[in-house]
A and B are shown apart, each in its own frame.
Chain A
């Protein structure tokens, strides 16, 4: 049964001829009858959509929150330590990155069962905008919106360890005695001695992306140092489900949230919209099939989304229409806009 017939049946708009077609279809096989019954069930169960809509889980959680007794989290920065450690901050050429896998010890360590009590750790959440922080050793970290960095008030012990959820850009102060370790997704570690790089985890996909901006990097899974990849400036690699690979193509806009610049070099429209969507936090929907092969070249520095969309629509002859945070993209209808 084609979708149109099904739709007409469910909405009660079958013509007599279509009714007959349907009757024959149902008679032909029991599986058809079963299919129709299931679609009818779905149609029937759609009745409560508005009821679900009227229940605002986020709002009710906020008002409920006070009735629980959750412990508070400490978000203060420690300015005195920043100034003291700033003097050690130097950026140099050679660095080694070790990619180690989660060890039971470190997981034990960070679930609060180890020797570091909760009070020693500081959590920084970037809500609504990116945040920048200088760590106790003078390293600088920029955290993207929606991401979180957990770091200690002081880097005690043999390593400098922080934990990242989401996306951040690191400028690590050089310390030959203490490796700087970033723990991501409870599985992946990035160890450096002093360099600048960008790390991003894809939640739920078990994928961690690494871009090196300066310094040299040796990249290898734990225990396999002989197979190391040596990466330098502008190289990047991906850890995916236990496998490490150097990437060829490059998303020029991976730091757009920091540089506020978007660059497109003959990029197909679907990818353009994906990057715009990430940068401006909107959702784009292509409504016309013909336009998804269009490609865009251009640079947009520090511009508001309205300006960017206007320029793109002129260059590619497409139209953007926004409703409720979702933006529909269509081919420009010259006739319609003649008024």
Chain B
């Protein structure tokens, strides 16, 4: 996909609205989820990512991306989050007159990025499931409901609930395996 990526970067440099819009549509949700791992609230995570996109546009003339667009974005978000945390910690430090070191967390970028990318792909696949199937899978995995609880709540047989969860797992398996790395 190298030429596609070069095309996107060209679009960003030229300040084309469609290039920014497409980039946003593709990466916004996952970058916010990623930022949320560093920052405490979702609101700040959204702000950080939104600021990044605007700054990207403002300094588009000097865009220089050595690795990939994806790595660039994730690493930029991580740096902004760490700066924000450091900033908060420094403020806190002064407020508390504490002498403890300001310890910015620095987990492995690649690891968390890969994890979030996988979650984003899972989200995309689950969105495409048929209505009932998706609903049941989410109630089971995300809400942690037992199969019979789901059956009662949706007025279905336990058999149907189990079949739908199996269908969802099959769809996920077919679209994701083998997992990378």
Q: B-contacting residues of A (Cβ < 8 Å)?
A: 3-4, 6-8, 10-13, 35, 38-39, 41-43, 45-55, 57, 60-61, 64, 67-70, 285, 287, 323-324, 326, 328
Q: A-contacting residues of B (Cβ < 8 Å)?
A: 15, 17, 20-21, 24-25, 28-30, 32-33, 36, 42, 46, 50, 53-54, 57, 115, 118-120, 122-123, 126, 130-132, 137-138, 140-142, 146-147, 162, 165-166, 169-170, 172-173, 176-179
B146 touches A61 (CB 8 A): no
What's the nearest-Cβ distance from chain A to residue B34, in Å? 11
Beyond A49-B122, A52-B119, A69-B57, is A39–B50 a contact (Cβ under 8 Å)?
no
Beyond A50-B138, A51-B36, A52-B29, is A68–B166 a contact (Cβ under 8 Å)?
no
Nearest first, the 8 A-B pairs at minimum CB distance are: A3-B166, A70-B17, A52-B123, A7-B166, A57-B28, A55-B29, A46-B141, A285-B130
- Write 9 A-B pairs (CB below 8 A) sorted by A numbering: A3-B166, A3-B169, A6-B166, A6-B169, A49-B123, A57-B24, A60-B50, A70-B20, A323-B132
B50 touches A64 (CB 8 A): yes
B140 touches A11 (CB 8 A): yes
A57 closest partner in B (C-beta): B28
Which residues of B lie under 8 Å from residue A328 when comparing CB positions?
130-132
What's the nearest-Cβ distance from chain B to residue A168, in Å? 20
Residue of A49, A61, A324 touching B131 (CB-CB under 8 A): A324
What's the nearest-Cβ distance from chain A to residue B164, in Å? 9
B178 touches A67 (CB 8 A): no
Beyond A13-B147, A68-B17, A70-B17, is A7–B33 a contact (Cβ under 8 Å)?
no
A46 touches B173 (CB 8 A): no
B119 touches A48 (CB 8 A): yes
Say what secondary structure dominates the interface of chain A: helix
CA distance A213 to B9 in the complex (A): 42
What's the nearest-Cβ distance from chain A to residue B15, in Å? 7
Which residues of B lie under 8 Å from residue A55 when comparing CB positions?
28-29, 32-33, 42, 46
What's the nearest-Cβ distance from chain B to residue A292, in Å? 15
A50 touches B173 (CB 8 A): no
A321 closest partner in B (C-beta): B131
A326 touches B130 (CB 8 A): yes
What's the nearest-Cβ distance from chain A to residue B55, in Å? 10
What's the nearest-Cβ distance from chain A to residue B10, in Å? 10
Which residues of B lie under 8 Å from residue A3 when comparing CB positions?
166, 169-170
B172 touches A42 (CB 8 A): yes
Which residue, of B50, B115, B141, has the highest number of chain A Cβ atoms within 10 A? Answer: B141
A45 touches B122 (CB 8 A): yes
Beyond A55-B29, A328-B130, is A43–B141 a contact (Cβ under 8 Å)?
yes
What's the nearest-Cβ distance from chain B to residue A22, in Å? 15
A60 touches B120 (CB 8 A): no
B146 touches A13 (CB 8 A): yes
Which residues of B lie under 8 Å from residue A51 when comparing CB positions?
33, 36, 42
Which residues of B lie under 8 Å from residue A69 when comparing CB positions?
15, 57
B138 touches A39 (CB 8 A): no
CA distance A41 to B24 in the complex (A): 27
B29 closest partner in A (C-beta): A55
What's the nearest-Cβ distance from chain A to residue B42, in Å? 7
CA distance A3 to B115 in the complex (A): 24
Excluding A39-B169, A45-B115, A51-B33, 5 further A-B contacts by CB distance (< 8 Å) are A38-B178, A46-B172, A61-B24, A64-B53, A287-B130
Which residues of A lie under 8 Å from residue B162 when comparing CB positions?
4, 7-8, 13
CA distance A4 to B20 in the complex (A): 44
A46 touches B122 (CB 8 A): yes
B33 touches A52 (CB 8 A): yes
Which residues of A lie under 8 Å from residue B141 when comparing CB positions?
10, 43, 46-47, 49
